[in-house]
Amino acid sequence: MTLALWVIVLGGAGATCRYLGDLGLSTLFGRGLPWGTMTINVVGSGLAGLLVGLTTYQHSAPTVSVALLSGFLGGFTTASTIAFEAARLIEARRTASAVGIIAGTMAAAIAAGILGLAVGSALR
């Protein structure tokens, strides 16, 4: 199977994992805020950091890394849902919650990415 095909199939698999994970996490944490999507973006960013650490910023990243980064993690994580949730919170005049989910997800995702990067670099 060519790389493009792998990316497409893994993208579908990543999106399906997000759907199932979001359902499970929302059942666990409640649906007051989009905890599921937030957690998935943080976990996906941590895994992206791990892959970047393992491939050491090579200019031609290994095929497996491309398939996992662009395919699985690209399909798994999402920017549109979290932005849409924040927009709806702003519309409902819950600006503090909107700022919280956007800034909180970003801060946690960067921390997870740095952690993943450190682990990946150590494992290399």
Partner 1 sequence: MSEPLDRPSEDPRLLDPDIEAPAPDGHPRPTLPHALAVFVGGSVGTMARYGVTANVHLMARSFPWTIMTINVTGALLLGVLGGSVFAARPDAVTLRLFLGAGVLGGWTTYSSIIAGLLTLAHLGSWGMATLNLLAALLMPVAAASVGLVVGSALLRNRIAP
Where do contacts with partner 1 occur on this chain (CB under 8 A)?
Answer: 4, 7-16, 18-20, 22-23, 26-27, 31, 34, 36-37, 41, 44-45, 47-49, 51-52, 57, 59, 61, 69-71, 73-88, 90-91, 98, 102-103, 105-106, 109-110, 112-114, 117
Q: Transcribe 97-118 into DSSP letters.
A: HHHHHHHHHHHHHHHHHHHHHH
For residues 78 and 124, which CB has a smaller minimum distance to partner 1 in the complex? Answer: 78
CB atoms within 10 A of CB 20: 11
For residues 1 and 34, which CB has a smaller minimum distance to partner 1 in the complex? Answer: 34
Instruction: Compute the least distance from the CB of residue 1 to partner 1, in Å.
Output: 13
Instruction: Compute the least distance from the CB of residue 80 to partner 1, in Å.
Output: 4
Give the separation between CA 71 and CA 9, rounded to whole angstroms.
Answer: 7
For residues 62 and 88, which CB has a smaller minimum distance to partner 1 in the complex? Answer: 88
Q: What are phi and psi of 31, to 5 degrees?
A: -115, 20
Instruction: Compute the least distance from the CB of residue 97 to partner 1, in Å.
Output: 12
Give the separation between CA 60 and CA 124, rounded to whole angstroms.
Answer: 17
Give the separation between CA 47 and CA 53, rounded to whole angstroms.
Answer: 10
For residues 81 and 123, which CB has a smaller minimum distance to partner 1 in the complex? Answer: 81
Residue with tokens 């970003």: 106
